[in-house]
Amino acid sequence: MSQKLLRETSSQTAGPYVHIGCTPNFAEMSGVYDEDLGAKMKTGPIKGEEITITGQVFDGTGMAIRDAMIEIWQADADGGFALTESNFTGWGRCPTDMETGQFQFDTVKPGQVPYMDGRLQAPHITVWIVARGINLGLHTRLYFDDEAKANAADPILTKIEHRNRVPTLIAKKQSSGSYLFDIHLQGEHETIFFDM
Amino acid sequence: MTHKSPNQNGFLVRNHDGHPAALTPAYKSSVTRSPTKPLLSFPGSMGEQTGPVFGHDMLGPLDKDLILNFAQPGEMALGPRIIVRGRVLDQTGRPVPNCLIEVWQANAGGRYRHKNEAYLAPLDPNFGGCGRMITDENGAYEFRTVTPGPYPWPNGMADWRPAHIHFSLMGQAFSQRLITQMYFEGDPMIWQCPIVGSIDDTEAIKSLVASLDMAEAVPMDARVYKFDIVLRGRRQTFFENRWEGL
Ligand SMILES: [Fe+3]
């Protein structure tokens, strides 16, 4: 390699107090920023099916961790990113609850987005997880269990060798408009994390 | 309706050599929070190659002034006053403009303003510890604060964090998303810290250490620390071809 590339700055853990910098109002520090960034993904009436995604992040002992921060990034209902729908940001940020470890996003079901080769991907959301003890932020994807046909044709889901791990990427429909997406850092149900 | 048409060349493959491994047992919290299976490598698509965009108009006038943004009227945070400035570049050396940077830190006594913090050092009633800014067209940023104190933390019985400021960088795409920490030139605690030590590469650690620049100090006011940050590079056929010829 003769390319004179700079090296990416090393990651360091977000630590237990990530809220101070990223969601200070959640950390009960009000008065600095009007509201926490990413707290609202919908800023007015929007097209598409409104959905709620909840979940927890489990450590290797099976405990839900209470100092993680999750960010999501997704297309709108038409499959566009933050341009086609002005009342929709496409980006959400949620710390896990300090008591229960729960996170929640109120968003819309994303449309289908083409892969590099032009094939349509199944509706999905890009997910990023940081916390104390996580040395490099973890990337994963959330797909939907009521999109079986699209999932069966998805360019990435279909290429995953260990088929028994695919369900770790699929949110489970609870009731109308509500999905459960738990993240497991270790263990039998360890979530698939990506290097993308 | 127009859809954004992102650069589908994607990003340069992440070089993990300069990053900490997921499991670094000297940093005990990593033991139960590190994935045990390899990351799956796939070319990303628009969800990874784009990201939210933030406008400079969302920033308040004091967002990048930690000395004043939590202080009572007419008062200021306590501690040695500093300005931290630098540039955000990508791996190809090009500036990253419009990059949201969020910072957080302990006060000059090493105490965080957080409900879960139990360290006995006192809070500073005029210091919150959060700031944010967006890089300009040259990738430049700066903020004003006080030097954070070192603090003990529950890992080993005598583990103290070196003085540091946490940085979150949004980049221009989710693939560039990064959280890191900035340390201070000359601090002996850097080389004893299990979190710093999670990076198994001395040169990479040195790139997290801000340098003191007395030439730019504001007289009778603040010293200046310089800290440049490199995010993953966007793959550009044009530049790669040029490099071949160099
Ligand atoms: Fe810290």
Q: What is the CATH number of the domain that holds A145?
A: 2.60.130.10
User: Does the residue A167 lie in any domain?
Assistant: yes
Residue A69 in contact with residue A96, Cβ under 8 Å? yes
Tokens of A57: 């992040």
Q: Is the per-residue pLDDT at B243 higher than 70?
A: no
User: How far is the C-alpha of A120 from the C-alpha of A112, rounded, in Å?
Assistant: 6
Q: Choose from A3, A6, A8, A136 for mutation: most chain B CBs within 10 A.
A: A8
Mapped onto helix, strand or coil, the DSSP state of residue A168 is helix
Residues 159 to 178 of B: which have CB under 8 A from any A CB?
166, 168, 174-175, 177-178
Q: Nearest 5°: phi and psi at B174?
A: -60, -30
Q: Is the per-residue pLDDT at B202 higher than 60?
A: yes
User: Is residue B239 very low, low, confident or very high in pLDDT (cuts 50, 70, 90)?
Assistant: very low
User: How far is the C-alpha of B216 from the C-alpha of B225, rounded, in Å?
Assistant: 9
User: How far is the C-alpha of A193 from the C-alpha of B10, rounded, in Å?
Assistant: 18
In which residue are the tokens 């965080």 written?
B112
pLDDT tens digits for chain A (196 residues)?
A: 446 899 999 999 999 999 999 999 999 898 899 999 999 999 999 999 999 999 999 999 999 999 999 999 999 999 988 765 579 999 999 999 999 999 999 999 999 999 988 899 999 999 999 999 999 999 999 999 999 999 999 999 999 999 999 999 999 999 889 999 999 999 999 999 999 8
- Does the B52-152+166-181+212-229 domain belong in CATH 2.60.130.10? yes
Q: Structurally, how many domains does chain A consist of?
A: 1
Sign of CA dihedral B232, B238, B241, B246: negative
User: How far is the C-alpha of B31 from the C-alpha of A106, rounded, in Å?
Assistant: 32
Contacts of A112 in chain B (CB under 8 A): none
Residue B170 in contact with residue B52, Cβ under 8 Å? yes
Sign of CA dihedral A86, A88, A91, A97: positive
User: Does the residue A178 lie in any domain?
Assistant: yes
A48 in contact with B at a CB cutoff of 8 Å? no
- From A87, A86, A195, A97, select the one nearest A139 (Cα to Cα): A195
The per-residue pLDDT for range B139-185, each reduced to its tens digit, is 999 999 999 999 999 999 999 999 999 999 999 999 999 999 999 99
Q: Give the residue numbers spanning the domain of A65.
A: 18-184
- Kindly report the length of chain B: 246
User: How far is the C-alpha of B6 from the C-alpha of B49, rounded, in Å?
Assistant: 7
Judging by DSSP bridges, how do beta strands B223-226 and B209-212 pair with one another?
antiparallel
ipTM of the complex: 0.96
Q: Where are the beta strands (DSSP E) in A19-110?
A: 50-58, 68-74, 91-95, 102-108
Contacts of B243 in chain A (CB under 8 A): 2-4
Using alpha carbons, list the distances in angstroms from residue A126 to A58, B43, B44, B224: 19, 13, 10, 38
A141 in contact with B at a CB cutoff of 8 Å? yes
Which pTM was predicted?
Answer: 0.95
C-alpha neighbours within 13 Å on the C-beta side of residue B118: 3
User: How far is the C-alpha of B186 from the C-alpha of B170, rounded, in Å?
Assistant: 29
